[in-house]
Amino acid sequence: MTEKIHRSDIYGDLKNRNEKEASPLIPASTVILLRDGARTDDSSVSQSGEDIEVLMLQKNQNISFGGMWVFPGGRIDDEDYDGEGREAADQMKAALAAAVRETVEETALSVDAEDFVYFAHWTPPPATPKRFSTWFFAAEADNTKTASHHIEVDGEEILNHRWIRPREALALHADGKIDLAPPTWLTLYHIDKYPQVDLALERFRKTEEKIYKTHVAKDKSGVRVAMWHGDAGYESWDPDVAGERHRLVMRENGFVFENTAEEY
């Protein structure tokens, strides 16, 4: 059966399900910078009243996630570790340091890791060609002192930037006008539930972080489905198993999130 692959599907050919045969995981981190409403001092801002907005960056076509719109972030470098440790606590500190460093490098914004809220971790399936194991943080732009700073992108690795409402980004993706990787899409989907930044961050603080160790397989119609813990087909890698749903259905004409298993 012919696979029906969405243009934003980043997960490879699906043949390999064995972690031992997969490419090594690359530790990475990203920060979702949020603010309330539009600001007239930035011509790239959509005029959205008091709706929550997210800072997004467009990647160069010739690098990882090429052409996609993403959040500030990147791989964790050796310099991000405090000492030689690679234990869980050290990984978290390094992820915070990397998120700060990458934000400065990609946007020229100075941010403070003390403002960051850890809310998710993503691991791609073994078949993914380049496997970034990524910590997701969120922070209010005003608290990170970005409100009075001009955003600068280098025009090489990062081509463009934009403050945008999550629902607007999702609509542009549905119309085929921008590309969003599944973790980015799902993050925007959840943030769109909250009209204000403080409500979104309060929810993230009160809810245990989500661990997305992704399994991807085709359903009987050939559509690729990303599944996570709690989905009835997760352990067997079978999207057609009846039962609870915690998945992203990546149809050619758009993504659909189905969830009956997890509280958000």
pLDDT digits (tens, 9 = 90+) for 186-211: 999 999 999 999 999 999 999 999 99
CA angle 126/132/133 to nearest 5° reads: 90
> How many domains does the chain fold into?
1
Question: Is residue 13 situated within a structural domain?
Answer: no
Of 39-48, 81-90, 193-202, 251-260, the least confident: 39-48
Is residue 226 a part of any domain in this protein? no
pLDDT of residue 40: 43
The pLDDT of 211-226, averaged and rounded, is: 96
Q: What is the structure's pLDDT at 255? A: 97
> Phi, psi (5° rounding) for residue 107?
-130, -10
What's the average model confidence in pLDDT over 18-28? 91
**Residue 60: what residue type?**
N
* Residue 134 placed within a domain: yes
Question: Is 183 within a domain?
Answer: yes
| CATH code, domain with 116 | 3.90.79.10
What is the average per-residue pLDDT within 22-31? 94
Cβ proximity of 238 and 217 under 8 Å: yes
Q: Mean pLDDT across the chain, nearest whole number?
A: 88
Alpha-carbon gap, residue 25 to 124, rounded angstroms: 9
Residue 87 lies in a domain: yes
Does the structure show a pLDDT above 90 at 64? no
Structural domain includes residue 256: no
The pLDDT value recorded for residue 15 is 87
SS3 20: helix
Contacts of residue 239, Cβ cutoff 8 Å, sequence gap at least 6: 217, 218, 219, 225, 227, 233, 247
Radius of gyration of the chain (CA): 18
Check if the beta carbon of residue 258 is closer than 8 Å to that of residue 247: yes
φ, ψ at 225 (rounded to 5°) = -130, 125
Tokens representing 213 are: 């160790």
Determine the structural domain holding residue 115 and report its residue range. Answer: 19-213
Q: How far apart are CA 238 and CA 145, in angstroms?
A: 46
Spell out the residues 6+ positions from residue 125 whose beta carbon is closer than 8 angstroms to its own.
11, 12, 14, 17, 214, 215, 216
Q: Is residue 260 part of a domain?
A: no
Say if residues 191 and 200 touch (Cβ distance below 8 Å): yes
Q: What is the pLDDT of residue 48?
A: 41
Q: Which tokens sit at 87?
A: 């234990």
Per-residue pLDDT tens digits for 117-174: 999 999 999 999 899 999 999 999 865 544 445 788 877 778 899 999 999 999 999 9
Q: What is the mean pLDDT of residues 39-55?
A: 59
Mean pLDDT score, 13-23: 88
Q: Which residues pair with 4 in a beta bridge?
A: 223
Would you say residue 27 has pLDDT above 70?
yes
Q: Identify which of 185, 230, 207 has the alpha carbon closest to the alpha carbon of residue 120.
A: 207
Query: Whole-model pTM above 0.75?
Result: yes
Q: Is 69 left (phi over 0), alpha (psi -120 to 50) or beta?
A: beta
Is residue 3 domain-resident?
Answer: no
For residue 157, give both structure tokens. Answer: 């690795």
Residue 91 CB contacts under 8 Å (≥ 6 apart), including other chains: 27, 76, 135
d(CA 138, CA 98): 14
Q: What is the mean pLDDT of residues 37-46?
A: 49
How do beta strands 117-123 and 210-213 pair?
parallel
